[in-house]
Amino acid sequence: EAEVDAEQVAQFRRLAFSLAKEAVDATNGTMIVEWLEEIVKVLHPSAQGHKADLVEAWFSPQGDCPQRIRTLLSQAKRTVDICVFTITDDRLTSAVLEAHSRGVRVRIITDNEKATDIGSDVDRFLKAGIEVRVDHTAYHMHHKFALFDGELLLNGSYNWTRGAAANNEENFVITNNSRLVAIFSKVFEELWHQFKP
């Protein structure tokens, strides 16, 4: 019931995931995820059963996947956490930059090799003041998921590229399932900490 602003909510959320990361082990993972779900419900009351379940499946090149992602970015009010192997589609990049310019906190995790590819938009994000982290391993950070306001998850094979939109057989699912959102949020926070410069 306390009156808190979006930044305070984001701080509480980060603290909750930090505590969960410190406490989780092989024996209590389910309990920790359930605890995180309760924290998310407290921080975002609209996530408690008042909304209908959302489950969407999108496929390329048949569907307009970039437009659906642009819509999610335009509707974000507080946070967008993007964990995608490669980002080169300028339509999506412009929507990310627009969200950032509206005051949405955007964080991006991407692969270190793809970040320096021709066409990569990572430099544009950095110049705009968006926080970006990359892995520093010989292997790939190959995830393709994003979280919107800690309430919606986008996950699938879809890289944020024009090739994925126009040519490749790709997919992603969008859901507001709180358990999945909590699990992917935890993974994002772990990677964000792991890839700290």
Q: Which of 100, 114, 143, 144 does the annotation list as catalytic?
A: 144
Let me know if 149 is a catalytic residue: yes
Let me know if 90 is a catalytic residue: no
Let me know if 144 is a catalytic residue: yes
Bridge partners (DSSP) listed for residue 82: 108, 146
Q: Which of 81, 121, 149, 186 does the annotation list as catalytic?
A: 149
The two beta strands, 79-84 and 144-148, are antiparallel
Q: Which of 142, 143, 193, 196 does the annotation list as catalytic?
A: 142
Bond prior to 61 in cis (omega within 30° of 0): yes
DSSP E strand stretches across the chain? 55-60, 79-84, 105-110, 131-134, 144-148, 152-156, 170-175
Q: How many CB atoms lie within 10 A of CB 10?
A: 17
Which residues are known to be catalytic? 142, 144, 149
